[in-house]
Chain A
Amino acid sequence: MTLVGGLIIGVGEAMATLYGNDIQNFFHQDLISGLNRLPAFLVIFLVVVVRGRGLPLRSHVAERLPKLGSGEISIRGLLLASAITVALLFGVMNDAWAQATYISLATAIMILSIVVLTGYAGQISLAQWALAGIGALIAGRLVRADVPVELAIVLGILLTIPVGLVFAVPALRHAA
């Protein structure tokens, strides 16, 4: 369901961008900013209105929680999935598909980092994108300064850690 929802929002955003001029003409507007962001809000709004079952009651916490897996990583499955992905990227996909896959996989890693934080600390961070962007910016600047890519990636990660600490300190100091 999550994948389908993401696809619908992604396709909606692409359509809103593609037909942006037609939508502006339809509403007789010279400029409507943020049209490509609108589908995400519309999807959330419709899902909540159509499928919403009201606000949770106080007894909500006593309800049976979803069953979780062990969390153990299957090395065999990981290697198999990695091999299939690399084979598809370099053997089957053209450049456009490969670019889309790179971006999707990088986005998945950023989003999955929330799982680690939630699992270990029970907290939710909403700045994954900002932290990843800072790391990418540092690494990109280093590559432009002729630093080897491999070293630039490591330095980008290391130099982003202090920024992450700046994010974390206020939350730790406020233990309400």
Chain B
Amino acid sequence: MNLAVVTLGLGFLVSEVLFANPNYLGRSLDGGTRIGRVKLFGIQVDRVLTIRTRGPQ
């Protein structure tokens, strides 16, 4: 139970201070932290970017 209370408070703090700060994550309207095209072990895994460029199917 102690950990639940501590993590609830710290999680809320991180959410408000870090994740809600556009200086760290970029503006949500701009897509947040854009990392461009990504390959993992040679496999293209940037489906989100693909959707943005081609539009939803």
Residues of A at the B interface (CB closer than 8 Å) are: 94-96, 98-99, 102, 117, 121, 123-127, 129-130, 133-134, 137, 140-141, 143-144, 149-150, 166-168, 170-171, 174-176
The answer, yes or no, to whether B29 is at the interface (CB within 8 Å) is no
The distance from the CB of A56 to the nearest CB of chain B, in whole angstroms, is 16
Interface centre among A98, A102, A127 (most CB of B within 10 A): A127
Task: Establish whether residues B3 and A168, one from each chain, have CB atoms under 8 Å apart when the complex forms.
Answer: yes
B24-47 residues with Cβ-Cβ distance < 8 A to A are 24-25, 33-36, 38-41, 47
A99 CA to B1 CA, complexed, in Å:
35
- Size class of B's contact patch? 20 to 34
Closest to A102 in B: B47
The distance from the CB of B35 to the nearest CB of chain A, in whole angstroms, is 5
Task: Establish whether residues A125 and B3, one from each chain, have CB atoms under 8 Å apart when the complex forms.
Answer: yes
A112 CA to B31 CA, complexed, in Å:
28
A96 CA to B36 CA, complexed, in Å:
18
Task: Establish whether residues B57 and A96, one from each chain, have CB atoms under 8 Å apart when the complex forms.
Answer: yes
* In-complex Cβ contact of A99 among B6, B7, B35, B51 (8 A): B51
